[in-house]
Amino acid sequence: MCTTSGKTFVGVVMRCNGYEVIDMGVMVPAEEIIDTAVREHADYIGLSGLITPSLEEMCNVARLMNERGLSIPILVGGATASAVHTAVKIAPCYDHIVVYTRDAAVMPSIMQEIASDPAEAERRIKAEQESQRSAYAESQKPLLPLEEARRRAFMPDWEAYDTPVPSAIGATDVEITVEEAIEYINWRAFFPVWQLEASFAELAEIHGCDHCRAQWLAGQKQDRRKKASEAMQLLKEAQVALARLVRDVNNSIRARVCCCLQILPATTSYSMPKGAMLCCRCCASRRMVRNVCRCPTS
């Protein structure tokens, strides 16, 4: 197991699930990882990256394993990794299983799936990754040559620009009730923490109608219904707890919100009026700057 961050936690989780873990540390050369895996008859190889260069090194490991004719499944994780990057960049370098693991908690179930039916697991993973590659390819926009991009440089007329003035300068105290705050809860942030798909958050839009919930559950695919049912129960318990909070407490919530500067991201590709030219901006202009503080003042 080669990791760069959280490797201690990963090792604990895997050992608790009955796996023997060989922790090789950080910045380990690809050849050493592969040689150790072969010598120790490893069932899986785990690769994790904390910084961007680690992603290319994962591709290097996959290529070397392919050249040596190995078929050991590769588990990819870490702060810089993602399911899309794994599908687009790493998986094509290896003829066998390369799967993205979101965190240590999901690794035992993924490894159990592979061990139970390797052929079916490989088929499912490769089909999912092919779909991700297709979606990624469709989302890509053609790039302009550098000279053309420079010719289209964004040249603002700052002299004529009327700078917007915020309605209040500095920090502003806002006071709302718990009941009012509930309306602004972003449930999509909760479901991944509950190890469920964020898309299940649409349940929150079904207000108090058991028939509608039953229809929603029936509309889920068979392989999603167990998780969908679990999502319904968790959301119901959360809403009951919030209702109890409103009934028993319902104190005001005080928050301090600072004025934020927001820079719009650069335009990529839009239909432009005939004769108009789309300006190209520096990548730095794509950054959105936020300085928002929500600290209790009471």
**Mean pLDDT score, 203-226:** 81
- pLDDT-based confidence at 251, cuts 50/70/90? low
Q: Please state, rounded to an integer, the average pLDDT across all residues of the chain.
A: 80
- pLDDT-based confidence at 295, cuts 50/70/90? very low
Cα distance between residue 10 and residue 23, in whole Å: 10
- Coil, helix or strand for 175? strand
pLDDT digits (tens, 9 = 90+) for 45-61: 999 887 888 889 999 99
**Would you state the pLDDT for residue 298?**
36
Residue 79: how many CB atoms within 10 A of its CB? 14
- Coil, helix or strand for 281? coil
Q: For residue 142, what is the DSSP state?
A: P
Cα distance between residue 98 and residue 33, in whole Å: 16
- Coil, helix or strand for 130? helix
- pLDDT-based confidence at 267, cuts 50/70/90? very low
**Closest by CA position to 60, among listed 18, 32, 23, 80:** 32
**Would you state the pLDDT for residue 282?**
59
- pLDDT-based confidence at 208, cuts 50/70/90? low
pTM above 0.75, yes or no: no
Q: DSSP alpha helices (H): ranges in 17-86?
A: 30-39, 53-67, 83-85
**Would you state the pLDDT for residue 239?**
85
pLDDT digits (tens, 9 = 90+) for 126-174: 999 999 999 999 888 887 888 888 888 888 888 888 888 877 777 777 7
- What's the length of the chain? 298
